[in-house]
């Protein structure tokens, strides 16, 4: 038996906040809108959820259609449903967050209803369409909080990294400084890094040792009650 509704219903969309790290600064992936509303303005990648589509599948599809990027770490962030957030009508959006090392992915290319797709520095962003400034601000504050108690920062780093790269990432995201020796001691004491037996190449200073994040070891420790904490 089919059913019909005799009252207006809101539309459902997904929007994706994609943070990237290039070794120097935190970047955000934005698309330039091809259509109204907000034509030619910058926005987060996203779009409408199809009737037979799961939310995460919709987020991944929109990311790939509008930027060409796929296969990244992705988690649900929050639901935004302000009444006036979309001039087209009553639209509720489920926001998602992705974290990537820019060197692992191809250069984004605008597609679908996106004229262009680009990485822009977090501290040099234009005003965004819809309520995307608020969504991005919420995502950044969540990143700052979660990076202190979950090892999500390693998603932004190359597979092999030095301690200076790791510390610079944390200092940039948290906008705070760490004592080099204390930071190194704290991380090493967790037992979740594996020394690669290699050193950094093409650096103007003494080559530093490279490490890998041992996710399997972290999962084993987590089961025994270990808590990641910076």
In a domain, 94, yes or no: yes
- Position 12 scores a pLDDT of 97
- Position 204 scores a pLDDT of 57
In a domain, 70, yes or no: yes
In a domain, 141, yes or no: yes
Phi then psi dihedrals of residue 169, to 5 deg: -60, -50
141 and 171: one domain? no
Average pLDDT of the residues of the chain: 93
171 and 87: one domain? no
The upper half-sphere exposure of residue 170, i.e. CA atoms within 13 Å in the direction of its Cβ, equals: 22
Residue 205 exposed, middle or buried by CB count within 10 Å (0-12, 13-18, 19+): exposed
pTM, full prediction: 0.92
16 and 113: one domain? yes
What CA–CA distances, in Å, run from 31 to 38, 62, 77, 113, 219? 12, 11, 19, 9, 35
138 and 164: one domain? no
- pLDDT tens digit sequence for 149-181: 999 999 999 999 999 999 999 999 999 999 999
User: CA 101, CA 6: separation in Å to the nearest integer?
Assistant: 48
E strands of the chain, at which residues?
11-21, 26-33, 42-43, 46-48, 73-80, 91-101, 114-121, 193-199, 209-213
195 and 172: one domain? yes
- Position 53 scores a pLDDT of 97
Token pair of 100 as six digits: 């990537």
Q: What angle do CA 125, 128, 134 make, to 5 degrees?
A: 95
Looking at mean pLDDT, say which of 63-72, 77-86, 203-212 comes out highest: 77-86
Q: Domain span at residue 164?
A: 160-223
Task: Give the count of domains, the chain.
Answer: 2
**For the chain, what is the largest distance between any 2 Cα atoms, rounded to a whole number of angstroms?**
73
In a domain, 100, yes or no: yes
The count of other CB atoms within 10 Å of the CB of residue 49 is: 21
Token pair of 208 as six digits: 């530093």
Last residue of a domain, one of 115, 146, 177: 146
Q: DSSP secondary-structure letter at 191?
A: T
């Amino acid at each position: 038996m089919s059913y019909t509704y005799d009252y207006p219903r809101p539309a459902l969309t997904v929007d994706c906040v994609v943070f990237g790290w290039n070794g120097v600064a935190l970047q955000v992936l934005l698309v330039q809108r091809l259509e109204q509303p907000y034509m030619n303005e910058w926005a987060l990648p996203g779009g409408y959820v199809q009737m037979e589509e799961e939310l995460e599948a919709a987020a991944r599809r929109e990311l790939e259609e509008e930027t060409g990027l796929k296969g990244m770490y992705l988690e649900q962030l929050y639901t935004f449903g302000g009444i006036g957030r979309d001039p087209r009508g009553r639209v509720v959006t489920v926001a998602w967050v992705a974290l990537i090392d820019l060197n692992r992915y191809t250069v984004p290319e605008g597609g679908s209803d996106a004229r262009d797709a680009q990485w822009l520095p977090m501290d040099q962003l234009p005003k965004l369409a819809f309520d995307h400034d608020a969504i991005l601000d919420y995502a950044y504050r969540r990143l700052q909080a979660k990076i202190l108690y979950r090892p999500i920062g390693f998603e932004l780093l190359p597979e092999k990294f030095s301690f200076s790269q790791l510390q610079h990432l944390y200092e940039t995201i948290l906008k705070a400084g760490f004592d080099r020796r204390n930071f190194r001691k704290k991380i090493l004491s967790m037992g979740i890094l594996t020394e690669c037996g290699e050193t950094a190449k093409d650096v103007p200073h003494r080559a530093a040792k490279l490490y890998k994040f041992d996710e399997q070891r972290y999962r084993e420790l987590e089961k025994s009650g270990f808590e990641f904490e910076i």
